[in-house]
Amino acid sequence: MTMKPESEKYNKVLNILRNSNPILKSTKDIEKEVIKRISMSKQPGCNLTDVIDFLFGWVYIGWVRRSLVTASVFLVLVFVWQQGVMLKQINFLSRQIIVTGGETVNSPARQVEKLLMRYKSSGRSFPSQSITISEKQMKELLDSVNDLKIKYKDLMNLIEEDPELKKYIENKLIENNRSKIKL
Amino acid sequence: MIDKKLIEECRGGNFNNFRKLVEVTSPIAFSVAFRMLGDDDQAKDVVQETMITIWQKLNKIKSAEGYKSWMYRIVINKCYDELRKRRRYPEFVPDEKTWALISNSFSDGPSSDLENSETAQIISLLTQKLSPKQKAVFILSEIEEMSNDEISEITGMSKSGIKANLHYARKNLSEMIEKYL
């Protein structure tokens, strides 16, 4: 059987390549370098490459490994963002919820105002247990009362210090037939 | 031939025996890496990286029997990475000196042993148009003379994929040989 000249050339090239086994002249250098790098990596301390190798070391294809790393970083970021949003929402809601007679009401400031109006208009006979407000709103209410007390005290001091003003106010009150304020 | 006992000892974390394993394994890994890359320095880098990966993951292989194909797989994958990096390199065009060197190699007869640099020139010239997969299949099948089963285990390709890649590699190489030699 005669071979085509093309195949002969091909086989000749193959034979040459098979027979000329590449020789690694610096095995010792490679050995030294490998041992050095392994010894360095054995030292304590955990870097990002180690973590990535630990998690994705089973993937040998470069682009698959990179894609997996990118996807995991993205998922972690999404998870963190989602947790942040949820936490924010929970905090927001915990500040907001008001329950009135079994009815859940949002928008606290206005509702509290309305409830206070109802309280006033109903002859101050608001039944107990019928209003629930959040801790924060209660704190705001107490702060507001304290603030009012301080302002009232300041005003009284101001009037006490100025006899003319005191007299003027007393006269005004008498004029208006209002109940006297005992200064 | 790699001693299975040596591999088992290294799997147990014996650092001193790993030196011996590097000494035995490096030339085998270098041979494939060099034929894949056609570059001495890059092949050495691949061998180094391979040895480090072997040390890090040696205890993960099921048995010493699978060591050789596992090592080849690491080398081939590292070569893929290298080839991917240089995908945009300009086409290799040999100069007159290189041509003379290649021609001499062929006129000397089929059994002539070549220097690394000469082998590199021939490989670079003939395999420059092959894809990394075709190159890997060609080297493992035609030069390292492995079976399709072994190649499939190393590259993760199906047997039909191996045959197809080998067919295109042979065709391409024949064209290159016809064109240049």
What 3-state DSSP class applies to B148?
Answer: helix
Substitution target in A12, A17, A59, A67 with the highest count of B β-carbons within 10 Å is A17
B90 to chain A, closest Cα gap in Å: 23
Give the mean pLDDT of chain A: 76
State whether A41 and B52 contact (CB < 8 Å).
Answer: yes
B26 to chain A, closest Cα gap in Å: 7
What percentage of chain B has pLDDT greater than the value 70?
82
pLDDT digits (tens, 9 = 90+) for B33-70: 988 888 888 899 999 999 999 888 887 777 777 888 89
User: Which pLDDT score, from 0 to 100, does residue A81 have?
Assistant: 95
Using CA coordinates, name the residue in chain A closest to B31: A22
State whether B52 and A61 contact (CB < 8 Å).
Answer: no
Using CA coordinates, name the residue in chain B closest to A42: B56
Give A129-133 contacts, CB < 8 A, sequence gap 24+.
A130/A100, A130/A101, A131/A98, A131/A100, A132/A98, A132/A99, A132/A100, A133/A98, A133/A108
Q: How many CB atoms lie within 10 A of CB B79?
A: 24
State whether A14 and B170 contact (CB < 8 Å).
Answer: no
pTM surpassing 0.95? no
Query: Which residues of chain A have a CB within 8 Å of the CB of B111?
Result: 15, 19
State whether A13 and B56 contact (CB < 8 Å).
Answer: no
User: Which pLDDT score, from 0 to 100, does residue A7 have?
Assistant: 77
Domains of chain B: 1-88 (1.10.1740.10), 91-181 (1.10.10.10)
Give the CA distances from residue A127 to residues A104, A105, A150, B122, in Å, rounded to whole numbers and listed in that order.
18, 18, 29, 99
Using CA coordinates, name the residue in chain B closest to A27: B23
**What is the C-alpha separation between B57 and B54, in angstroms, rounded?**
5
B147 to chain A, closest Cα gap in Å: 16
pLDDT digits (tens, 9 = 90+) for B101-148: 666 666 655 445 566 777 777 777 777 788 889 989 999 998 888 999
**What is the C-alpha separation between B135 and A4, in angstroms, rounded?**
24
Choose the weakest-confidence range: A113-117, B72-76, B107-111. B107-111
* pLDDT tops 50 at residue A135: yes
Reported as a pLDDT band with limits 50, 70 and 90, residue B166 is very high
